[in-house]
A and B are shown apart, each in its own frame.
Chain A
Amino acid sequence: MVKQFLLALVSTIGFCILFNVPRDSIFKAGIIGSIGWIVYISISDIFDSTVGGAFVGALTIGILGEIFARLFKKPATIFIIPGIIPLVPGAGSYYTMLAIIEKRYTDAANFGSETIFIALSISSGIIIASTISKSFRRRKAA
């Protein structure tokens, strides 16, 4: 678990630099990414569903991102975009393509639909988090 955490941390930080996240936010975004990854693998293990894992992981990332955004006065995107990178189904889309070129179309449909559902669940997790945070902001303003 610790090893996974550290690996996710380093790869998220690498992506932070590629995406030009401001210097003072790199480490925070890295922490968010690795927490999201840990949640993702644990939930996927417990419920035996990568789609559910990706949803809960993205939800965690979204909520943490909104909280960090509030704390450090930065747009939440800065924390969320690098954070979700480990969850993004790059491997899934690769296996889909591999199955297609090897003419294993059933496998391709399996991997492909899983990839699409993971992408959907990641974005709905983030949307839910940002909607929650918006409603809180409105309540404060009122």
Chain B
Amino acid sequence: MINKSELKELLIMAMIAGRIMLKNGAETYRVEDTILRLCKSRMNIKYAETFVTTTGIFLTVEYGEDVISYTYRIKSRKIDLNKVAMVNDFSRRFVNSDMSIREGKSILGDIEKSTTYSKPINLLAGGASGGFFSLLFGGSFRDFVSAFIISLLLVGLIDFLDKKKFSFFIKNILGAMIITVLSIISIEIGIGESLNMVIIGSIMPLVPGVAITNAIRDSISEDFLSGVSRGIEALIIALSIAFGVGIVLRFYISFLGGVHNVYGQAISISSSFYNWLLHII
């Protein structure tokens, strides 16, 4: 048996653990599971229940004569699977040993602050994923080079916008527009070969594949509320990417002649571009 202030500490610690997991891309059921496990590990709690959605955590515990409840609102989400793994590890260790709650909290604090990869490696990885995806979908070596450079720049840009706390909608629209402009430029100056391949490769770091899959996964495992909210998030990300790419391509097609043969090799429109330039001058 422990006293009430310790119980509070334990709840806050479970809450922090849940928050780290949810913010970094864990599934809803895993977050609920971890929180309950941490709560029930230390004392004879009569009743503990938690309700996790994508945007918040609610936790209520009944202990003796009291009912204590905590709410935490989650505003930004990203994917950092290392933190999920570390918290998972931590909860296993905490449950199976008699680590003090203060110690647990300091470990969680360290996990929250940790970074796994340095920035240059991150940028290079972004470039590699974009470039190799354009190869995987059938692009040529020249497409690879331009997709590599463009997605490297994109990852840097997203990082920067994250730091400035831009909303995810603006972030994706800006990202998609810049990708498309850069892809068109790369085709025009003759680095890239097929506009489609360059764009498809470079938007891969933005595409909400994980959000879509997690949304459907949550819904299938009966977490309908998180399923819906993740689904809406994915939908808005997809729409903003489509909007960003679409608006630039639309301008490109109507003002510069653009790509007519979309499914075969994109036709380089250098000649019409120069005509247009001459026309302006």
Contacts and interface: CB of A to CB of B under 8 A. Distances in A.
A91 B207 CA distance: 10
B82 interface: yes
Interface of A is mostly: helix
A100 interface: yes
Contacts of A119: 209, 212-213, 216
A119 to B, nearest CB: 5
B25 interface: yes
B203 interface: yes
A59 B27 CA distance: 18
Interface in A1-59: 4, 7-8, 10-11, 13-23, 25, 37
B167 interface: no
A67 interface: no
A110 to B, nearest CB: 12
B262 A102 contact: yes
B84 interface: yes
Which residue, of B83, B89, B129, B199, has the highest number of chain A Cβ atoms within 10 A?
B129
Interface in B216-252: 216-217, 220-221, 238, 241-242, 245-246, 249-250
Interface residues of B, number: 56
A19 B25 contact: yes
Contact of B79 (A20, A23, A37, A89): A20
Contacts of B83: 20
Given A97-B242, A127-B220, A90 B209 contact: yes
B209 A88 contact: yes
A66 to B, nearest CB: 13
Contacts of A101: 246, 249-250, 253
B41 to A, nearest CB: 18
Contacts of B55: none
B200 A91 contact: yes
Contacts of B203: 90, 94
7 contacts: A14-B125, A18-B122, A77-B26, A77-B30, A88-B213, A98-B262, A101-B249
Given A11-B128, A20-B117, A78-B81, 18 more contacts: A11-B204, A14-B125, A20-B81, A20-B83, A21-B82, A22-B85, A37-B136, A75-B85, A81-B79, A81-B213, A85-B204, A85-B210, A88-B212, A90-B204, A91-B137, A101-B250, A119-B209, A123-B220
